Amino acid sequence: MRQLEIENELRDVVSRIVTQVELSTKQGRLDVNLSLEDALIPILRAAYNLPQLVNLNRRQKNFPGIDLGDDHDRVAFQVTSTTSLEKIKKTLTTFMDNQFFNTFDELFVLTLTKKQSSYSQASLDQITHGRLGFIAQKHVIDLGDVLAKVAGLRIPAQERVLNDFKIILGDVKAYLDFTSSDTPSSHALTTNLIQLRPPTTLYVAELALDDKHVIHEARQRLGFKKHSAGKSLSVKLALLLNGCDDDAWVRFEDRIFAFDDITCSGLVAVVDVGSIETLNLEDLLASGVEDNVNLAKQLLAAYVKQALKSHSVFFYREDRSFFFKPHDPDDTQRKEIWRGKKKSTRRVYERLISQKDPTKTAHHVHLAFELSYIPIAGVWYAMVVPSWLYTYDGHRKSRFHDKLLSKQKRLEFNQTVRNIVRFLAYFLSSTDTPGQDGRLFGELIELTCDDALVEGQALGVDSQEGNDDEG
């Protein structure tokens, strides 16, 4: 009986909202949607299971093209009182021009009055060009569609949604009753720290190199132009001369350090085999000697650098960051499948065509990231800092890199960055980089705190500064 009562009340309230909006529209008040954006958030959160949906206009005034967004589940909404095809096309055009498909996988256009019976899918496809899966029949919705979603919720959830709809109609008493709960709750905060499980044993051996001879041979056989080389470069050249392209090592005081068994790697060609011995990684940390700790960090960095090569992720020395490249040089884009709350894809590389000359490439866009290694109480962590790299040939930085990066950063807000960190953590943990007890990369570290802290009640921070893809 209670179920039927709620359904009847919901239909009545929604019908009254639609009537009010239609009346406002006829009076020329087309901005009625602005007053409803915040009130619709808890309803859409429940109906579409988007717990982190927020008002984007509160993060950035007059946010272009979309009003509400959940970066975590990558869903965005445009709320409008206009139902025309032209409005849908304008929304899509703004969405695509701002490349919001890198942040959101789905876009819904929510009309506050009854939507049209149909929309031209072909005209919409001409705007999205396959970069966004926007199907008018599914993604253009009205309050009737939202109500259908609500009908599938449990009775307590439907009651909360009913109260939210009443808020929209100005039922202040229902709002006060609904928000009177003092039940404390907690909130999980995701950091950008990934726990590492590096190999516990490392190998060390004395170098057996004649640097001058290596330089001479490199000039003859590798086309090396210089007459001298640094100590580490000499080792690299010697390895290349022996047919080994391995970067998972560190040279320190005429010795080579590596996590891989030197006797079973290409490094055996450049060391005194009789001098090979093993050390314990924990002993380096426990020594308290700064050089030993730095050596461990450098070795971890070299180890990861070598491992990621096989996944077409390379190290850009100038920025000291990693960047994604296509698996095949002829590919125009690269997408990676990953799983957050649900299975998603993220674009990590794209070759953009020049608008002036379609036969030429404007630049290449690479998702990039920095990794730094931190030991805390005997446990290793990698700190991930995402970024972007713009190249003109897929290898070398474009002269427009700084300008393009600045533009991209302006389009990103905190949750966008957090989602990229989540993707990178997933990607790294899924690589076949061996470590202690299996893989090297573990999960992102999460911290739990009271919602009061998240909402800034104790720290005085903006509650909206703080929380797939594609990318």
Quote the mean pLDDT of the chain: 83
Span of 319-333, 389-403, 437-451 with lowest mean pLDDT: 437-451
The answer to whether the pTM exceeds 0.85 is no
Look at the block and give the residue holding tokens 């590596």.
258
140, 109 in Cβ contact below 8 A? Answer: yes
Average pLDDT rounded to a whole number, residues 155-173: 73
Q: Kindly give, in sequence order, each residue whose CB lies less than 8 Å from that of residue 95, ignoring residues fewer than 6 positions away.
A: 65, 66, 76, 101, 107, 132
Sheet with 255-258, strands from edge to edge, namely: 250-252, 255-258, 201-206, 277-280
Amino acid 106: pLDDT: 94
Pairing mode, if any, of strands 361-376 and 379-391? antiparallel
Amino acid 31: pLDDT: 54
- What burial letters (b/e) apply to 194-233, b meaning 16+ CB within 10 Å? bbbbbbeebbbbbbebebeebbebbeeeeebeeeebeeeb
SS3 96: helix
Domain regions of the chain by residue span: 2-183, 196-454
Average pLDDT rounded to a whole number, residues 156-183: 61
Amino acid 470: pLDDT: 43
128, burial (CB in 10 Å: exposed 0-12, middle 13-18, buried 19+): middle
Quote the tokens at residue 54: 């927020």
Average pLDDT rounded to a whole number, residues 392-402: 93
Is a pLDDT exceeding 50 seen at residue 371?
Answer: yes
Quote the tokens at residue 220: 């003859």
Of the two residues 356 and 394, the one the predictor is more confident about is 394
Amino acid 459: pLDDT: 36
Chain segment 224-246, per-residue pLDDT in tens: 888 888 888 999 998 999 888 88
146, 110 in Cβ contact below 8 A? Answer: yes
Question: First-to-last CA distance in the chain?
Answer: 46
For residues 382 and 390, what is the distance between their CA atoms, to the nearest angstrom?
24
To 10 degrees, what angle do helices 37-47 and 143-150 make? 40
For residues 433 and 428, what is the distance between their CA atoms, to the nearest angstrom?
8
